């Protein structure tokens, strides 16, 4: 290794760069100088909202090569002013978590294991079961002859983590099918 | 909240659970506001408050009632506000009897049905009549409970047949609401607070002074709560008690006032407004019930009256517009707008009843959508055993949550109650899209809709719920196409045509446009509606959720409004869109005095501008904009036109804030203290121990611990309360699979005081087993001064804190026993929410037994306590003292028997 010139002495660097406390450019390594934050190199930034609690903090989603590379607080939000809590700050990992399931799984009756199913097949099977259960458990009237027009054989639970538009389609479809037992966390 | 001069946080650990929202509390505090935290535990919120006041879990009505009493007794109420804007002056019918007169019951209790006939709570009418509900008459409390009718008041108060009330503006008549409230709370004193809540006189004095000194013309106090108030057998009444206090102090409809509900899920408000709930249709219209809503005419006649005041009188327009949105051209005047396409309720069909229906094999198929009931719902064991009865189960989530894997690695597999190879249930796990992989809106806790743009496409086979349900609906409709069966008409006639992108994902904005609504007829046909006041009952408008009308006004997605906050005033009206009509503070006409002038310069918000002849200010006025303050229209004209210039509560049937609720609550017109379903403390206020109208489920798999004064109560001597940590999200589905968050909070623990640790020999960081009549779980022991034993009526009450984020399974990064397994199912009768913030248990050192021995331990405790399915489930505690004739062996107290 070549002997260092005195110009590379820390104290000289601190004085020459104005970084008197030695916490900035005077001590930045070549490696650090060569890298840039993911937020700076992202292809685009998309405005979003934190998916955890109901405060509704603004998020900025940084995307590179069609992958989410970072999620940060949105300083423009009058609700959160750029801040996020530990969960909101970790939400990039919610998207890219190694344990996240991205394949359809199916467990047959009495089976001890999951197996993979094709998505279209799974949706087809669910539709068949929906129709069959609805037919089998249909209640047209009560014992006094009053209209019921429903099934008590199909239920759902969930919605508080979903979008308004999604809740709307769920409620609309289930109500039209006569499946009255739709519920969500608001009951809990 | 930043505008408040005093903030009371009670029933919430806001700094921990809503930390970013808490910055506004911190901001208020920095400007001099006093912040008080009332909670069983000293938490992160307590640490940044001016004072922490420890309270016994479940005793909040005693404290709030004592604050009300203090304000009335010391003449500290806001006279001009209360007289003009609340129902203080309104006369109640002479048949009304208070809980003070009947040992803790109100008039009308029906011990057979375990519910109230609420008709005697009505307002008095001219002559000696009563102002009833519209329609055939007063609905029995038992029926209202079954349809969780209280939920329908999410956007306005209960209906009345008309608003021609009797008033005594001197407030002296003993039948005025004011005098009734005063009498009702007379025994809620500082001494009672000391003996029942464990709060000493100095803390009570500090709190009452902070609140009253920071209320009035110049100053406002704000309350904040979360599920620490809702998850009780009288949870709705906790919030009502705060509402009474805030009305008496003039803190509603004003900046820095109000009662802030801090909700825990990104769109839990939205999923109540557009309800995936059994008892509601969009916009808080009730789901029809057989026998009550058999025809459209019946339905419209009871959900609102044309003779009552305010905007609920137009409920017919909201209903017909919804039916037009769903069934389009198939909804005609001739078929009552397809009203009979709606299914009917015949009782309670809430999530806990559904689970019991599974155990009876009545439910075959179950969709779980971004929720984890195996861990997050009360009585986890009942939840999981119920699922094992299903024919098919569809779980849609990001991760393999415990509700998807109980058949292979759940606690009942370990205990031997279930064997995987015996379980017939088919399970479909369908991977879901995250919030950045789809576009759509969340409604946050202040009713603000915020749009999220899609950032990337979902990976692999992940799909949004929007796409999944759209495709499921398409497939079902294709399979039923051509069906002659009349039952399939609602599905086949459904408007179900949304534009999709190249991946088949429907356009969420098109769905938002349908929710907003549009004109169907006339020159504007096809154009989006701009306000719910444009809705009509003649089929000329369609709108999927009337309270959201305006979010898509002019064909523009206002939920996506994003003018930076720093470029706007404090109300930031150009960021997102708040229902209704982009109003940020509800009932804001109350921010001005009866003459329309601001109460003070400091609290100026909305006022009457004489020159312009309209209401103006910093927000959208929540009032008919040109209705002068002095207007006195004839109340008999009904609807918005009947609102007087001093009726700020425009969604209430009489235009007033209700101190006393003549309709709408099924467990009493005034909040009254009852003990929890399970309590080591006897109710010192009344002979009645628990809320008589609470919803109980006496079943062998849902046993309750004996309460104070009955044998066996000492077997489960401690109170436990459940809670949340900032590093995790509810049942963990969105946090326990994330390495970062799992590392921050890796394992289940319990918080106990040093005194309790000494009493039971619990070692710090060692294991403890907590046993309830439902189950036993294990947790690491955290001994901390943050838990303080309370002196209650001469006894020491120990409370144990249990976070509820962990569950048993093999898929998450971290797992552990689930606190909710300890809970039973007892519900608030207004809204059917379970009591999960207070219950009884025992605690002992060491890990819990495994396998069959776990069940044996739970059973051994049940036997020692002498528990039967009747234990704790009596409606009336002491019939003789409460004016109820005891039936032999039925409602009478049997000597020595458990209560």
pLDDT at A112: 98
pLDDT at B107: 96
Query: What confidence tier does B892 reach under pLDDT thresholds 50, 70, 90?
Result: very low
User: Which of A90, A158, A173 shows the shortest C-beta gap to B473?
Assistant: A173
Strand partners, A70: A62
- Cross-chain Cβ contact A170/B726 below 8 Å: no
- ipTM greater than cut 0.90: yes
| Tens digit of each residue's pLDDT (9 = 90 or more) over B163-195 | 999 999 999 999 999 999 999 999 999 999 999
Query: What confidence tier does B405 reach under pLDDT thresholds 50, 70, 90?
Result: very high
B490 touches chain A (CB under 8 A): yes
Nearest alpha carbon to residue A61 among B48, B247, B455: B455
Chain B 520-579, residues with CB within 8 Å of chain A CB atoms: 544-545, 548, 562, 564-566, 568, 572, 575-576
User: Which of A83, A107, A161 shows the shortest C-beta gap to B266?
Assistant: A161
**What does the pLDDT average to over B359-377?**
98
| Tens digit of each residue's pLDDT (9 = 90 or more) over B466-481 | 999 999 999 999 999 9
Res A5 pLDDT > 90: no
pLDDT at B127: 84
Strand partners, B827: B695, B834
| Tens digit of each residue's pLDDT (9 = 90 or more) over A29-64 | 889 889 999 999 999 999 999 999 999 999 999 999
Beta strands in B444-582 (DSSP E): 448-452, 518-519, 541-542, 577-578
pLDDT at B293: 95
- Cross-chain Cβ contact B19/A61 below 8 Å: no
| Tens digit of each residue's pLDDT (9 = 90 or more) over B842-890 | 999 999 999 999 999 999 999 999 999 999 999 999 999 998 865 443 3
- Give the whole-number percent of chain B exceeding pLDDT 70: 98
pTM equals 0.95
Closest chain B residue by Cα to residue A154:
B365
CA distances, B590 to each of B72, B246, B253, B532, B593 (Å)? 21, 12, 5, 22, 7
Closest chain A residue by Cα to residue B364:
A153
User: Which of A148, A168, A188 shows the shortest C-beta gap to B274?
Assistant: A168
- Cross-chain Cβ contact B400/A105 below 8 Å: yes
More confident site: B383 or A23: B383
The CA distance from A39 to the nearest CA of chain B, in Å, is: 14
The CA distance from A34 to the nearest CA of chain B, in Å, is: 27
| Tens digit of each residue's pLDDT (9 = 90 or more) over B231-274 | 999 999 999 999 999 999 999 999 999 999 999 999 999 999 99
Interface test with A, best of B266, B363, B500, B826 (most A CBs within 10 A): B266
In order, the DSSP letters of chain A are -PPPPGGGSHHHHHHHHT-TTSSSGGG--HHHHH---HHHH-SEEEEEE-SSSTT--EEEEEEETTEEEEEEE-TT-TTTTT---HHHHTHHHHHH-TT---S-EEE-TT-SS-EE--HHHHHHHHHHHHHHHHHHTEEEE-TTS-EEEEEEEEEEE--TTS-HHHHHHHHHHHHHHTEEEEE-GGG-
């Amino acid at each position: 290794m070549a002997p260092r010139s005195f110009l590379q002495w820390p104290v000289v660097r601190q004085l020459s760069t104005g970084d008197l406390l030695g916490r900035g450019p005077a001590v930045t390594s070549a490696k650090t100088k060569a890298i840039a934050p993911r937020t700076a190199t992202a292809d685009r930034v998309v405005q979003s909202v934190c998916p955890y609690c109901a405060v509704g903090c603004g998020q900025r989603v940084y995307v590179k090569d069609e992958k989410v590379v970072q999620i940060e607080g949105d300083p423009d939000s009058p609700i959160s002013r750029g801040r996020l809590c530990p969960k909101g700050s970790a939400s990039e990992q919610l998207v890219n978590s190694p344990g996240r399931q991205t394949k359809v799984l199916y467990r047959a009756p009495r089976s001890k294991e999951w197996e993979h199913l094709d998505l279209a097949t799974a949706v087809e099977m669910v539709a068949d079961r929906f129709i069959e259960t609805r037919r089998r458990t249909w209640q047209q009237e009560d014992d006094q002859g009053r209209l019921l027009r429903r099934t008590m054989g199909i239920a759902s639970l969930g919605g508080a983590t979903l979008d308004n538009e999604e809740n709307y389609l769920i409620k609309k479809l289930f109500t039209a099918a006569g499946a009255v037992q739709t519920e969500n966390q608001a009951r809990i | 909240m930043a505008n408040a001069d005093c903030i009371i946080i009670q029933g919430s650990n806001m700094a921990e659970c809503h930390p970013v929202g808490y910055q506004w509390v911190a901001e208020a505090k920095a400007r001099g506001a006093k912040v008080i935290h009332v909670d069983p535990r000293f938490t992160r919120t307590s640490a940044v408050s001016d004072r922490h006041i420890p309270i016994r879990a479940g005793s909040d009505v005693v404290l709030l009632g004592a604050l009300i009493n203090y304000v009335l007794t010391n003449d500290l109420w806001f006279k001009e506000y209360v007289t003009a804007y609340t129902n203080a002056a309104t006369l109640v019918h002479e048949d009304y009897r208070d809980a003070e007169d009947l040992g803790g019951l109100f008039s009308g209790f029906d011990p057979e049905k375990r519910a109230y006939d609420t008709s005697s709570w009505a307002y008095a009418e001219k002559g000696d009549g009563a102002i009833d509900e519209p329609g055939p008459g007063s609905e029995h409390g038992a029926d209202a409970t079954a349809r969780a009718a209280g939920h329908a008041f999410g956007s306005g108060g209960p209906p009345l047949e008309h608003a021609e009330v009797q008033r005594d503006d001197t407030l002296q008549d003993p039948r005025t609401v004011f005098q009734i409230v005063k009498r009702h709370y007379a025994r809620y004193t500082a001494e009672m607070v000391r003996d029942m809540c464990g709060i000493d006189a100095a803390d009570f004095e500090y709190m009452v002074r902070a609140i009253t000194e920071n209320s009035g013309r110049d100053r406002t106090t704000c309350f904040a709560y979360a599920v620490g108030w809702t998850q009780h057998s009288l949870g709705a009444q906790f919030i009502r008690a705060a509402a009474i206090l805030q009305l008496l102090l003039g803190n509603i409809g004003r900046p820095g006032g109000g009662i802030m509900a801090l909700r825990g899920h990104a769109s839990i408000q939205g999923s109540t407004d557009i309800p995936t709930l059994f008892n509601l249709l969009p916009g808080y219209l009730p789901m029809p019930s057989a026998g009550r809503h058999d025809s459209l005419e019946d339905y419209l006649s009871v959900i609102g009256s044309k003779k009552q005041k305010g905007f609920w009188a137009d409920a017919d327009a909201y209903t017909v517009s919804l039916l037009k949105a769903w069934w389009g051209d198939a909804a005609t005047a001739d078929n009552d707008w397809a009203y009979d396409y709606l299914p009917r309720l015949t009782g309670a069909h809430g999530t806990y009843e559904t689970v019991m229906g599974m155990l009876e094999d009545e439910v075959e198929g179950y969709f779980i959508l971004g929720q984890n009931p195996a861990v997050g719902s009360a009585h986890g064991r009942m939840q999981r055993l119920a699922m094992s009865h299903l024919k098919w189960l569809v779980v849609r989530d990001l991760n393999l949550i415990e509700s998807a894997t109980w058949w292979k690695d759940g606690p009942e597999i370990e205990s031997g109650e279930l064997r995987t190879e015996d379980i017939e249930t088919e399970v479909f796990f369908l991977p879901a899209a995250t919030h950045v992989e789809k576009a759509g809106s969340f409604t946050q806790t202040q009713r603000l809709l915020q749009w999220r743009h899609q950032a990337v496409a979902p990976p692999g086979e992940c799909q949004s719920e929007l796409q999944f349900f759209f495709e499921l609906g398409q497939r079902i409709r294709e399979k039923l196409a051509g069906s002659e069966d009349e039952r399939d008409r609602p599905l086949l006639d459904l408007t179900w045509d949304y534009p999709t992108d190249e991946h088949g994902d429907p356009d969420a904005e098109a769905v938002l446009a349908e929710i907003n609504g549009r004109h169907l007829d006339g020159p504007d046909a096809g154009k989006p509606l701009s306000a719910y006041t444009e809705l009509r009952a003649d089929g000329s408008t369609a709108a999927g959720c009337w309270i959201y009308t305006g979010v898509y006004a002019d064909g523009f997605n206002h939920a996506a409004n994003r003018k930076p906050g720093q470029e706007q005033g404090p109300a930031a009206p150009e960021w997102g869109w708040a229902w209704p009509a982009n109003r940020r503070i509800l009932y804001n006409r109350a921010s001005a005095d009866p003459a329309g002038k601001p109460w003070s310069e400091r609290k100026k918000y909305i006022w009457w501008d004489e020159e312009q002849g309209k209401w103006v200010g910093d927000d959208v006025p929540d009032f008919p904009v040109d209705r002068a303050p002095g207007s006195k229209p004839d109340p008999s004209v009904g609807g918005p036109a009947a609102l007087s210039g001093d009726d700020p509560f425009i969604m209430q049937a009489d235009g007033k804030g209700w101190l006393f609720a003549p309709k709408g609550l099924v467990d009493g017109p005034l909040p009254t203290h009852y003990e929890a379903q399970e309590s080591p403390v006897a109710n010192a206020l009344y002979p009645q121990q628990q809320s008589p109208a609470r919803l109980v489920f006496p079943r062998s798999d849902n046993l309750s611990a004996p309460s104070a004064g009955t044998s066996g109560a000492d077997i489960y001597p401690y109170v436990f309360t459940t809670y949340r940590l900032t590093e995790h999200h509810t049942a963990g589905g969105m946090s326990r699979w994330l390495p970062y968050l799992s590392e921050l909070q890796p394992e289940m623990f319990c918080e106990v005081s040093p005194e309790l640790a000494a009493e039971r020999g619990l070692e710090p960081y060692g294991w403890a087993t907590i046993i309830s009549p439902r189950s036993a779980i294990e947790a690491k022991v955290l001994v901390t001064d943050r838990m303080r034993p309370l002196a209650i009526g001469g006894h020491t009450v120990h409370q144990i804190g249990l976070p509820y984020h962990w569950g048993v399974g093999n898929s998450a990064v971290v797992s552990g026993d689930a606190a909710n397994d300890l809970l039973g199912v007892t519900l608030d009768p207004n809204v059917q929410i379970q009591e999960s913030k207070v219950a009884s248990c025992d605690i002992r050192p060491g890990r819990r037994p495994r396998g069959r021995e776990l069940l044996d331990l739970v059973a051994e405790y049940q036997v020692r306590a002498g528990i039967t399915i009747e234990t704790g489930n009596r409606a009336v505690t002491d019939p003789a003292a409460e004016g109820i004739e005891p039936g032999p062996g039925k409602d009478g107290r049997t000597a020595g028997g458990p209560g």
